[in-house]
Amino acid sequence: MKNGIRCLAVIMTLMLTGCGEISASSDYGVYIGAEYSELPEGISYDTLVIDAQYYSKEEVAALKENCGEIYSYLNIGSVESFRDYYDEYKDITTAPYENWDEERWVDVSNPKWQEFIINDLAPQLIEKGIDGFFIDNCDVYYIDPREEIYQALTDMLSSLKATGKTVIVNGGDSYVSRYLDENDTLSAVIDGVNQESVYTSINWDEGTFGETTKDDSEYFLDYLERVSDAGGEVYLLEYTTDDKLARYIQDEADALGYHVFISSTLELVPVEGGEKDVNQQSEAMAPPDEPVKENTTGEEKMTTTNVKDTENFYGIEFTADSDIFARIKGKSYKDDCTVPLEDLRYLHVLHVGFDGQTHEGEIICNKAIAEDLLEIFEQLYEAGYQIEKIKLVDEYNAEDEASMADNNSSSFNFRFISHTTKISKHGSGMAIDINPLYNPYIKTVNGNLNIEPANSTPYVDRAADFPHKIDETDLAYQLFIAHGFSWGGAWNSSKDYQHFEK
Ligand SMILES: [Zn+2]
């Protein structure tokens, strides 16, 4: 995304149709979270959902060459911190989005918010050439079921409908059900609904797909039947790798007259440049084992009712009351730390270990290099570049030597440069060390070699040939340099072969 940290909205759908032939239908595709360049080339759906805020008018027009209608994501119930209007509306937010640091519920009854959605944001999207809105977070009424919230949603949806564009609500069954209780048809407010997980569910802790419980499934099917009977279109978003189940869902949806998009993966391999076929790329890059969706941040990354992140490379802004901060407080974030928390980001990445397997990595760095690191680590992962460990230095009690000796790659660790009030590059999270055991820091003091980590002696001779050596021919070196970093291996007075900084 254009604005710092990668968009956390879902790319639930860099759906790999060739990879499992899960979804035969091309009538509905949801690619929220993917920029134009990340979409598969020649993408073709009768209805394609994107986040048009991040698309140009020309890009929308280009998509229309192969697609029927383009709908844009529009979040009317909450505001995410990566949006360029976040700061302006932060003061009318009401509560944190459960388990999600980057997003806050908005007081939708505030006229300032309604004015913004209807007279500013929606027109901007319409100007891009979209045909409809994919409205998210009407669940604000489920969170706060007050009359004025219901009224505010009704007012906003009516205004959006009055633009002549199609309006689809994602989730929001509490709101829609009440509206149906009080009205015979939906047509004054919406044209249809999108519902996730009617048949399939996601177990975030185990990173597996399952089936929705019978009770939940029946509840949603009843609800959707009401929507359909009231003249609403029904769109389903499901996740499974089970071909048989996928065919069953497709058949059921066809019989009911519902649109369905079935994603075979949550492991969204971002598509670079769009010049490769997404299917081929996914197979070529298929990691040796499934990434484990373990809940390393201690926070749920999304709920199935809330369209959110499913990518493996993402960044999170975190606050002093977060689980992330609890892990670094008094360690890398020392008590005298002068770097404001809002300048730091927690990154989740995947990497290929020395065992050739996929592993999850965690990094804390400065927000100024967060996007660079996400891009670099994604490219390294795709290339199969081996990095043994990417853990927070806090797992070594924030002791650099211990972390380096264990060949752990890490970034933020607050410290002042000795005898100054200047913060070191790692201290501000503007530097990162890669495979430090194989790429030591070397300095000659009075003719004596000073080596860190101490156990890296076998790798001091940089003319020798050994694996994981960073030099000018190394991919990590090339990517960091391309992103404007400088390399410690090029220093004159000392050499720090593991180190890249901005
Ligand atoms: Zn370093």
Instruction: Report yes or no on 54 lying in a domain.
Output: yes
CA 341 / ligand 1 centre spacing (Å): 21
pLDDT at 103: 86
Residue 433 domain flag: yes
Q: How remote is the CA of residue 499 from the centroid of ligand 1, in Å? A: 4
Question: pTM of the entire structure?
Answer: 0.53
Q: How far apart are CA 137 and CA 79, in angstroms?
A: 10
Residues 67, 211 share a domain: yes
What pLDDT, on the 0 to 100 scale, is given for residue 123? 97
Asked if 270 and 380 sit in the same domain, the reply is no
Confidence class for position 20, pLDDT limits 50, 70, 90:
very low
Residue 273: pLDDT band with limits 50, 70, 90:
very low
- Both 152 and 48 in one domain: the answer is yes
Q: Could you tell me the CATH number of the domain that includes residue 146?
A: 3.20.20.70
Query: Could you tell me if 64 and 120 lie in one domain?
Result: yes
- Within a domain: 300: no
Please state whether the peptide bond connecting residue 436 to the residue before it is cis, i.e. omega within 30 degrees of 0: no
Ligand 1: centre distance to CA 338 (Å): 19
| Residue 20 within any structural domain of the chain | no
Cα 85 to ligand 1 centroid, rounded to whole Å = 35
pLDDT in tens, 356-372: 999 999 999 999 999 99
Q: How many structural domains does the chain have?
A: 2
> Residue 356 belongs to what domain range?
314-501
Residues 270 and 323 in one domain: no
- Does 102 share its domain with 230? yes
| Confidence tier at 265 by pLDDT (50, 70, 90) | low
pLDDT digits 0-9 by tens, 371-419: 999 999 999 999 999 999 999 999 999 999 999 999 999 999 998 876 6
Within a domain: 452: yes
- Distance between Cα 498 and ligand 1 center (Å): 6
According to the model, what pLDDT value does residue 4 have?
Answer: 21
Measured in angstroms, how far is the CA atom of residue 57 from the centroid of ligand 1?
43
Strand partners, 202: 209
pLDDT of residue 35: 87
Residue 305 has a pLDDT of 22
Question: What is the 234 CA–ligand 1 centroid distance (Å)?
Answer: 53
Q: How far is the CA of 374 from the centre of ligand 1 (A)?
A: 18
- C-alpha span between 28 and 285 (Å, rounded): 26
Residues 282-307: tens digit of each pLDDT: 222 223 333 333 333 333 332 222 22
Cα 452 to ligand 1 centroid, rounded to whole Å: 10
Residues 343, 242 share a domain: no
What distance in angstroms lies between residue 349's CA and the mean position of ligand 1's atoms? 19
pLDDT of 310 above 80: no
The verdict on 280 and 321 lying in the same domain is no
In this structure, the answer to whether residues 84 and 176 fall within a common structural domain is yes
Q: Are strands 132-136 and 69-75 parallel, antiparallel or unpaired?
A: parallel
Cα(424) to centroid(ligand 1), Å: 10
Does the residue 9 lie in any domain? no
CA of 378 to the centre of ligand 1 (A): 20
pLDDT digits (tens, 9 = 90+) for 120-134: 999 999 999 999 999
Examine the domain organization and report whether 159 and 226 are in the same domain.
yes
- Ligand 1 centroid to Cα of residue 436, in Å, is 8
Q: Are both 330 and 184 inside the same structural domain? A: no
- From residue 308, alpha-carbon distances to 71, 117, 363, 377 in Å are 17, 20, 21, 21
Residue tagged 């290099």 (tokens): 369
C-alpha 402 – ligand 1 centre gap (Å): 14
The rounded Å distance from CA 360 to ligand 1 centre is 21
DSSP-based helix, strand, coil % in the chain, nearest 5:
30, 25, 45
Do 209 and 157 sit in the same domain of this protein? yes
40-57 mean pLDDT: 91
Which domain-ending residue is among 231, 264, 284? 284
Is the residue at 6 inside a domain? Answer: no
- Average pLDDT over the chain, rounded to an integer: 83
| Domain assignment present for 423 | yes
